[in-house]
Amino acid sequence: MSDADEPLQGHGEPSSDFDGSDGDDAPADTADTHRGGFGDFGGDGPGLIDRAFRERIVLVGVTRPDRDAAATDASLDELSLLVDTAGADAVERVCQRRSAPDPATFVGSGKAREIRAVAEEVDCDTVVFDDELSPAQQFNLEKLLGRTALDRTAVILDIFAQNASTPEGKAQVELAQLRYRLPRLRGAGRRLSQQAGGIGTRGPGETQLEVDRRRLERRIHKLEADLHRIAGHRRTQSKARTRTRNRAVAIVGYTNAGKSSLLNRLTSASVAVEDRLFATLDPTTRRLGLPGGETVFLTDTVGFVRKLPHQLVEAFKTTLDVVRDADLLVHVVDSADSDTDGSMAAVRQVLAEIEADEVPELVAYNKSDLGPAAARLAERTEGSVAVSAATGEGVDELLGAIGDRMRRVAREVELVVPWDRGDVLAGVHREGQVLDTTATEEGMRVRARLEPSSVGALSRYLVNGRESE
Ligand SMILES: Nc1nc2c(ncn2[C@@H]2O[C@H](COP(=O)(O)OP(=O)(O)OP(=O)(O)O)[C@@H](O)[C@H]2O)c(=O)[nH]1
Ligand SMILES: [Mg+2]
């Protein structure tokens, strides 16, 4: 067995390639880390994680001075839903008010003892913290609590792992998991590698930890290369799209807001719709005809959540390129959500992380069939619409709004401005956003974002047939 195929010790091993091999026979090192199936991400064979029983979980939330207890409670409600989606039951919660996290134990050792007592009382297997724990905090807490300590990130990664179905989705999730796991590799470090001195190791004295780390790093590089290749393929497709001059609209929003339902409603797509968090991981694109006769490409993609792990955002960057490169975002908001503002802020934060915050946004308050909230919210927000993906109510208005916005939004064009037309060049700078300039023999070649009215006036300087719809 080559060393790349061999399971890592006690860490529910990632499969090699996309062949579904698993590491179920990895020797457990539960004596050190208490890791059960839930915290293991359970390997990733072709199917979902098989959960023999539902773990009992205690949730821990910390309220910072700038937040109130209600916000912590709301965040724990959501964590409870995440835990449920991951296949476990939240049976108790512990809250704490604290100005700054304790570097060693996050909550402080006194509070940790209290959590341990609660955990013993309710007989729970795992404690989940609502904020990301550093590797050291996680390790120390497991020692203090005598059971697995996880954070919100691990739970979200676990859900993604269960939901990933395509090779790209699986690779992205595995990459995020490995990046999360790499700094947390420990416990086995005191043992010497059984392979020390063998091919692929650095010789006697290398610890199992070092061997594991190098294997993880190698796997991470392989996944990065695979994803890069897939993204390259997608870029070629999107260039083809540019040539056909269709413009792109991306549906974004909080998880479970109804994004896939809306894509299905507007196009003939049949994306799976579920009352479940992160049902969609892979993007789906369909053609959409607008009332004005134009056609755009509409894409539904992965949903966001508060404190979406940065490892996931990073791993899904290539998928999310479609959001960054879109001409318009339709931001779907669940109007039945009790904190629509907070959810929208969380979505916008992720949009900023993937550099899509400059793309114009059209807000669609969905689920208008459930009550008057959607209409009330739409009234409050200029330019937004109320819609029901379930009944079709408001869909015509939404299509009209997308058409209007597409006619107004700036688009990227390429121009060659003759050297004797300094006035035109000045006009481009004044009216649009110049992205790039190159001096050529015929004149200044300019890549710029311009509004359609300016594009019309400059049409004689446009190049590459990218001028009009
Ligand atoms: N009542 C009502 N329910 C809706 C509406 N739109 C979606 N839903 C329900 O909301 C749930 C989530 O819908 P999806 O379309 O899967 O939501 P999503 O935003 O794609 O979710 P993820 O892919 O998991 O992030 C499902 O149970 C849908 O049936 C609506 O307009 N009205
Ligand atoms: Mg979906």
Q: How confident is the model at residue 456, as a pLDDT?
A: 80
Cβ of residue 367 lying under 6 Å from some atom of ligand 1: yes
Based on the fold, state whether residues 437 and 288 are members of the same structural domain: no
- DSSP letter assigned to residue 13: P
Cβ of residue 274 lying under 6 Å from some atom of ligand 1: yes
Chain segment 7-38, per-residue pLDDT in tens: 323 333 333 333 333 333 333 333 444 443 34
Number of domains in the chain: 3
Residue 192 domain boundaries: 30-217
Q: How far is the CA of 259 from the centre of ligand 1 (A)?
A: 7
Based on the fold, state whether residues 85 and 168 are members of the same structural domain: yes
Based on the fold, state whether residues 44 and 184 are members of the same structural domain: yes
Residue 225 lies in a domain: no
Q: How far is the CA of 277 from the centre of ligand 2 (A)?
A: 8
The percent of residues above 90 in pLDDT, for the chain, comes to 57
DSSP of 316-382, one letter per residue? Answer: THHHHHHHHT-SEEEEEEETT-TTHHHHHHHHHHHHHHTT-TTS-EEEEEE-GGG-THHHHHHHHST
Query: pLDDT averaged over the chain?
Result: 82
Based on the fold, state whether residues 337 and 420 are members of the same structural domain: no
The closest of 241, 249, 238, 246 to 361, measured between CA atoms, is 249
Cβ of residue 366 lying under 6 Å from some atom of ligand 1: yes
| Long-range pairs, 287-293, Cβ under 8 A, ≥24 | 287/246, 288/249, 288/402, 290/399, 290/402, 290/403, 290/406, 291/396, 291/399, 291/400, 291/403, 292/403, 292/407
Based on the fold, state whether residues 165 and 256 are members of the same structural domain: no
Strand partners, 56: 89
Based on the fold, state whether residues 367 and 442 are members of the same structural domain: no
Residue 129 lies in a domain: yes
Chain segment 396-430, per-residue pLDDT in tens: 999 999 999 988 877 778 899 999 999 999 999 88
Of all atoms in ligand 1, which is nearest to the CA of residue 272? 16
Based on the fold, state whether residues 166 and 265 are members of the same structural domain: no
Span of 211-225, 233-247, 416-430, 438-452 with lowest mean pLDDT: 233-247
Residue 25 lies in a domain: no
Assign residue 187 the CATH number of its domain.
3.40.50.11060
Based on the fold, state whether residues 159 and 307 are members of the same structural domain: no
DSSP of 187-230, one letter per residue? Answer: SGGGSBPTTTTSTTS--TT-BHHHHHHHHHHHHHHHHHHHHHHH
Residue 14 lies in a domain: no
Based on the fold, state whether residues 352 and 453 are members of the same structural domain: no
Based on the fold, state whether residues 80 and 122 are members of the same structural domain: yes
Q: Six-digit token pair at 60?
A: 């821990």
